[in-house]
């Protein structure tokens, strides 16, 4: 604990031991990256920022960010989307031209799994939950051109029965039908 943390944070950042990702948010640089130009993955950085605010068990990468982590969107994006229990304004990152968007959700009711990222484990929605989220809000995350293909990719890895089990209580049946239409399934 420091009485005046700013000078110490500045010193550690200058030495390459900390990376300033956004105003007030720092990431410890992995030991093997000290002395090199290093930039954490957007999704890992967003999960870290959200976990700092809400706790690791209440920050869940969702939508296009989950699709990226699950390998369904190959290109890097400029917006990360994180489900959190309470509203929060978007955070503009200072280390790149990117934004962390927070979506207020009941994070305990989301179907999520812990996934390893470059900064450690974080919660990410399952392929089934991600299919529903992408189909519900295809414009969230500014990657709407990527969403149909990502949905088809994730649908092929999903259990159709589990999709129905998630869609009904979350009132996402119309989103499931939209996803099925992208896949080519007629209801």
Question: Mean pLDDT across the stretch 36-59?
Answer: 95
Q: Indicate the CATH number for domain 39-183.
A: 3.30.460
Question: Mean pLDDT across the stretch 26-45?
Answer: 92
pLDDT at 1 over 80: no
Q: How many residues can be counted in the chain?
A: 187
Predicted pLDDT of residue 7:
82
pLDDT digits (tens, 9 = 90+) for 115-144: 999 899 999 999 999 999 999 999 999 999
Predicted pLDDT of residue 2:
62
CA distance 168 to 151: 18
Question: Where along the chain do its domains lie?
Answer: 1-38, 39-183
Phi-psi category of residue 57: left, alpha or beta, with phi > 0 → left and psi -120 to 50 → alpha: alpha
Predicted pLDDT of residue 17:
86
Which of the two residues, 187 and 50, has the higher pLDDT score?
50
Question: Mean pLDDT across the stretch 65-92?
Answer: 96
Average pLDDT, the chain: 93
CA distance 13 to 174: 48
Question: Mean pLDDT across the stretch 155-181?
Answer: 96
Indicate the pTM of the whole model. Answer: 0.93
């Amino acid at each position: 604990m420091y009485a005046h943390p700013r000078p110490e944070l500045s010193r550690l950042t200058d030495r390459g031991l900390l990376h300033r990702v956004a105003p007030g948010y720092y990431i410890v640089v992995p030991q093997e990256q000290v002395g090199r130009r290093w930039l954490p993955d957007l999704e890992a950085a967003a999960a870290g920022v959200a976990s700092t605010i809400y706790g690791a068990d209440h920050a869940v990468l969702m939508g296009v960010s989950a699709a990226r982590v699950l390998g369904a969107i190959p290109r890097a994006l400029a917006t990360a989307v994180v489900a959190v229990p309470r509203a929060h304004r978007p955070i503009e990152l200072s280390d790149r031209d990117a934004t962390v968007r927070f979506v207020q959700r009941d994070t305990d009711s989301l179907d999520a799994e812990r996934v390893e990222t470059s900064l450690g484990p974080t919660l990410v929605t399952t392929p089934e939950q991600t299919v529903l989220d992408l189909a519900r809000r295809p414009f969230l995350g500014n990657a709407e051109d990527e969403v149909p293909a990502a949905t088809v990719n994730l649908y092929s890895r999903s259990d159709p029965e589990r999709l129905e089990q998630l869609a009904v209580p979350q009132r996402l049946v119309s989103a499931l039908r939209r996803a099925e239409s992208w896949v080519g399934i007629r209801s």
